[in-house]
């Protein structure tokens, strides 16, 4: 079994301070085109697979039945900041389907967005499930559940919705899931290999709007994400800033514990990576390096420099070090 490949280095004072290693795969139309580490390493994709989890929203007809827009579809794939616009979109969506915040099963947490967090503090309000970074995905889950007339406990692994997601996962990854864990938002998260995740992303990248039902669904989700990057994550976040930097031509999605995927429609390529130490700094720098290697991201763009190659500064503005790709990565 190949060891994790060194991918990202942090330098300070002329000395190597930290190294992030991981596994990564680029899957093209003909299969694996490049890999680092162990493509067969089994991981939890965490939120990087939200576009797979959103497929039943379209494939069951639920999205069209209630008139969801591309913005809604992007939000269904989101790990958002809990900005005011995110909270409003979730609340309005639930209202359209005749449900409310208590029907969600994602749990409540403080919003990551500072402005919304400060508003809650100033008004002595508590965060609710609408602030959960996965509330968009759960609005999608509820839309499918309502459309099918299925039970309200839609996060149970044996619920019809989760069984559809498991089936879609296996079909796109080309492998049987290796088990499941419970994600931070309480939904099942199906384990797969890094190669399987990259293969699934390549399926999204190759999807076109004139294909079969699955292909059309994947194309709609990919296009929605690339068109509305601010709904997929939020201001200051890597997914949002990098998608903007690439002219809305690529769809990106991060996942907890340093997973990152990319969908490159123009090249019909999918990318998946996992940094084994779980550090976000490592996964953001590694996906940046792979996007630059793929020719879709300008390494001099501020969004790229922010995560790879640019000088790091402390709170006084002093130069402290830099993050760079490790030797041999991505080659």
- List domains and CATH numbers for the chain: 5-325 (3.40.710)
Residue 104's Cα: distance from chain center in Å? 20
Model pLDDT, residue 210: 93
Token pair 């830099």 is at which residue? 322
Interval 226-285: pLDDT, tens: 999 999 999 999 999 999 999 999 999 999 999 999 999 999 999 999 999 999 999 999
- Which residues fall within 8 angstroms of residue 201, CB to CB, at 6 or more apart? 27, 261, 262, 263, 270, 271, 272
In tens, the pLDDT along 120-144 reads 999 999 999 999 999 999 999 999 9
The answer to whether 246 touches 296, Cβ cutoff 8 Å, is yes
Rounded to whole angstroms, the Cα distance separating 285 from 300 reads: 14
pTM, entire model = 0.97
* Pairwise CA distance, residues 94 & 101, whole Å: 7
- Contact between 273 and 43 under an 8 Å Cβ cutoff? The reply is no
- What is the per-residue pLDDT for 85? 98
pLDDT-derived band of residue 94, with 50, 70 and 90 as boundaries? Answer: very high
User: pLDDT tens digits, residue range 156-208?
Assistant: 999 999 999 999 999 999 999 999 999 999 999 999 999 999 999 999 999 99
Over 90: is that where the pLDDT of 1 sits? no
For 26-61, give one letter per residue: b (16+ CB within 10 A) or e: bbbeeeebbbbbbbebebbbbbbbbbbbbbbbbbbe
What digits encode the pLDDT tens for the residues 268-325? 999 999 999 999 999 999 999 999 999 999 999 999 999 999 999 999 999 999 999 9
Distances (CA, A) of 314 to 188, 318, 321: 39, 5, 9
């Amino acid at each position: 079994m190949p060891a994790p490949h060194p991918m990202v280095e942090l330098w300070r004072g002329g000395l190597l301070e930290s190294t992030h290693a991981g596994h990564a795969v680029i899957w093209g139309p003909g299969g694996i085109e490049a890999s680092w580490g162990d493509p067969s390493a089994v991981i939890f994709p965490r939120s990087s697979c939200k576009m797979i989890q959103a497929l039943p929203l379209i494939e069951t007809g639920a999205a069209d039945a209630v008139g969801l827009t591309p913005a809604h579809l992007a939000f269904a794939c989101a790990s958002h900041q809990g900005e005011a616009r995110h909270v409003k979109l979730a609340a309005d969506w639930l209202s359209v389907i005749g449900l409310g915040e208590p029907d969600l099963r994602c749990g409540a947490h403080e919003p990551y967005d500072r402005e919304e967090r400060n508003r809650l503090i100033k008004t002595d309000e508590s965060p609710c499930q609408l602030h959960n970074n996965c509330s968009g995905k759960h609005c999608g889950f509820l839309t499918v559940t309502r459309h099918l007339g299925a039970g309200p406990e839609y996060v149970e692994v044996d619920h019809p919705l989760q069984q559809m997601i498991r089936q879609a996962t296996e079909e796109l990854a080309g492998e049987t899931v290796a088990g499941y864990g419970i994600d931070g938002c309480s939904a099942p998260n199906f384990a797969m290999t890094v190669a399987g995740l990259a293969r699934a992303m390549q399926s999204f990248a190759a999807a076109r709007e004139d294909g079969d039902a699955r292909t059309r669904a994947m194309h709609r989700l990919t296009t929605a994400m690339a068109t509305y990057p601010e709904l997929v994550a939020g201001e200051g976040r890597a997914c949002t800033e990098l998608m903007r930097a690439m002219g809305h031509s690529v769809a990106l999605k991060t996942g907890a514990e340093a997973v990152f995927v990319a969908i490159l429609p123009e090249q019909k390529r999918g990318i998946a990576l996992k940094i084994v130490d779980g550090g976000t700094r490592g996964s953001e720098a590694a996906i940046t390096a792979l996007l630059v290697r793929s020719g879709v991201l300008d390494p001099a763009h501020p969004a790229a420099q922010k995560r790879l190659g640019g000088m790091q500064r402390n709170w006084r503005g002093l130069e402290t070090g830099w993050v760079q790709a490790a030797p041999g990565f991505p080659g």
